[in-house]
């Protein structure tokens, strides 16, 4: 199925959760915020949201610096 991640179309397997996408991209869950179809997600829901064809994710990563 096709979803958009940060504006780019990606092909992913059916029945993937938001948590699966985070793991596949090797992201640190403590350093990201995810917007799912225009709504900011609570981290506790990452495992329960199963993606559907056409869904849109925006992944925002926090990076330290100084």
Bigger pLDDT: 64 vs 25: 25
- Calpha distance 29→1 (Å, rounded): 24
Q: What is the pLDDT of residues 19-60, one digit of tens each?
A: 999 999 999 999 999 999 999 999 999 999 999 999 999 999
Which sequence spans correspond to the domains of the chain? 2-61
pTM above 0.85, yes or no: yes
The runs of H, that is alpha helices, within 1-66 are 18-24
Tell the CATH topology of 2-61: Ubiquitin-like (UB roll) (3.10.20)
Phi/psi of residue 12, nearest 5 degrees: -130, 160
User: Torsion over CA of 16, 21, 25 and 27, rounded to 10 degrees?
Assistant: -150
Q: Residue 14's closest CA among 60, 58, 55? A: 55
């Amino acid at each position: 199925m096709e979803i958009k991640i940060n504006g780019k179309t990606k092909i992913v397997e059916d029945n993937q959760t938001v948590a699966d996408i985070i793991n596949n991209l090797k992201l640190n869950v403590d350093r990201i915020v995810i917007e799912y179809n225009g709504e900011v997600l609570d981290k506790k829901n990452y495992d329960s949201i199963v993606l559907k064809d056409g869904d849109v994710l925006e992944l925002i990563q926090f990076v330290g610096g100084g």
